[in-house]
Amino acid sequence: KRPAGAPGRELARPITKIGVVGAGLMASQLALLFARQLGVPVVLTDIDQERVDKGVGYVHNEVDKLVAKGRLATDVATKAKALVTGSVSKEPFADADFVIEAVFEELSVKKQVFAELEAVVSPECILATNTSSLSVTAMAADLQHPGRLVGFHFFNPVAVMPLLEIVRAPKTEDAVLASAFELARGLKKTAVLVKDAPAFVVNRILLRLMGEVTAAFDEGTPARVADAALRPMGLPMTPFTLLAMVGLPVAQHVQESLNEAFGDRFPLSQNLQKLVDNNVRSLWSAAADGTQE
């Protein structure tokens, strides 16, 4: 059955090679998913060799873990590892059909990435952003071919979360959208079409909950207490655990986008800002440091 709002599958273009810009945790998880589910070559790129090596290393390590758990046959694992390569240069993207970015959540950084990509990729190459909350329309504004850009937003952990938000910007072409839905099908994800609105749908709802949790934290409720209080609610993961997994800077960027768009409905958390400024990666370590307890 065709997902609501998806154009006909006959418009979809074949995807035989994929590029991933950024080699951080999200990007590396994406590279692993593409190689494993689609069996196509995937090239990961970042600003230096160290980051690229770390991203490729993450993929190889995750594949080894799946083999050790008996979830992946050795021959499939060897193939998956060989499919993921790294490059500091974007030249290998010249024959890619689909390139997705998962770099720092800053509009200017993303725009710069897309400008560099357009100088290398073919005119038919689809460009995608994994942004959590930024405007896809704004990202497309300076592109030579704005119709090739689509939002392709995954959730953490990528390997297990079934949902994918596909974001259509006003100029996104039908063939691009159809290809995005076909790609999602190949990845065995449930794709939903969402409007290009601040934080789309899932993060906008999730941040209402997170906003109250971080407000309680701001008002002096220790992280452990707020989290423990929510444990019996049947959530698969308690809010602070989720925040720590998503990453505080990402959560803060989503909060900022929503605050900018909706004001007091999405207040900024002073503690979240402090933790990000102090480069504290997890709320748990903040609690252990005695920040709130």
Q: Is the dihedral of CA 116, 119, 122, 123 positive or negative?
A: positive
Quote the longest CA-to-CA distance of the chain.
Answer: 58
Closer CB to ligand CAA, 130 or 271, in the complex: 130
Closest approach, Cβ 156 to ligand CAA, in A, equals: 4
8 Å CB contact between 149 and 139: yes
- Element (DSSP H or E) covering residue 194: strand 190-195
Nearest to 90 by CA among 37, 23, 143: 23
The only residue of 47, 115, 237, 288 in contact with ligand CAA, by rule CB under 6 A: 237
Binding of ligand CAA by 242 (CB under 6 A): yes
The only residue of 84, 99, 223, 246 in contact with ligand CAA, by rule CB under 6 A: 246
HSE (side-chain half, CA atoms, 13 Å) at 131: 33
The only residue of 132, 257, 259, 271 in contact with ligand CAA, by rule CB under 6 A: 132
Using omega within 30 degrees of 0 as the cis cutoff, is the peptide bond preceding 41 cis?
no
Count of residues engaged in binding ligand CAA, rule: CB under 6 A: 15
Closer CB to ligand CAA, 134 or 178, in the complex: 134
Closest approach, Cβ 88 to ligand CAA, in A, equals: 26
Closest approach, Cβ 243 to ligand CAA, in A, equals: 9
Gap between the Cα atoms of 131 and 105, Å rounded: 7
Q: Is residue 60 flagged as an active site residue?
A: no
> Interface mask (CB under 6 A) for ligand CAA, residues 136-165, using x and -?
-------------------xxx-xxx----
Gap between the Cα atoms of 72 and 140, Å rounded: 39
DSSP summary character for residue 47: S
Binding of ligand CAA by 3 (CB under 6 A): no
**Which residue type, as a one-letter code, is found at position 201?**
V
Gap between the Cα atoms of 224 and 291, Å rounded: 12
User: Within 177-236, which residues bind ligand CAA (CB under 6 A)?
Assistant: 203, 206, 236
Q: Which stretch binds ligand CAA (CB under 6 A): 42-50, 88-96, 242-250, 275-283?
A: 242-250
**Active-site residue identified among 60, 145, 153, 253:** 153
For residue 78, what are its two tokens? 């060897």
Closer CB to ligand CAA, 66 or 125, in the complex: 66
> Interface mask (CB under 6 A) for ligand CAA, residues 70-89, using x and -?
-x------------------
Which positions ≥6 away from 280 have C-beta within 8 Å? 248, 286, 289, 291
Binding of ligand CAA by 4 (CB under 6 A): no
8 Å CB contact between 148 and 137: no
By CB under 6 A, name the binding residues for ligand CAA: 71, 132, 155-157, 159-161, 203, 206, 236-237, 242, 246, 250
As annotated, the active-site residues are 153
